Structure 1
């Protein structure tokens, strides 16, 4: 009986504890991002000649 009480006492003493705490220092995320964009415009020959003949059109 005494050994049963001792085992029960040991099992009760082994309750795991989980603590959630905020960090002391701020979280730093470094993002090295390179963004490139390429725009291609296809123009019909009629429109191209119109633009070349009238440079002040746009």
Structure 2
């Protein structure tokens, strides 16, 4: 004789939020930093 089981799956009340802003911001800042260094090196009298 097999015993039947019941499994309930409920959706969460709040939407699932995945925040990817941190890595995108770090990448943009890193790229701007490298560009700024290159511009300053190419134009030492800019400041």
Superposition TM-score tier, normalisation by shorter sequence: 0.3 to 0.5
Structure with more helix by fraction: 2
Higher-Rg structure is 1
RCO greater where, 1 or 2, for CA within 8 Å and sep 6 or more?
2
Name the TM-score, length of structure 2 as normaliser.
0.34
Name the TM-score, length of structure 1 as normaliser.
0.30
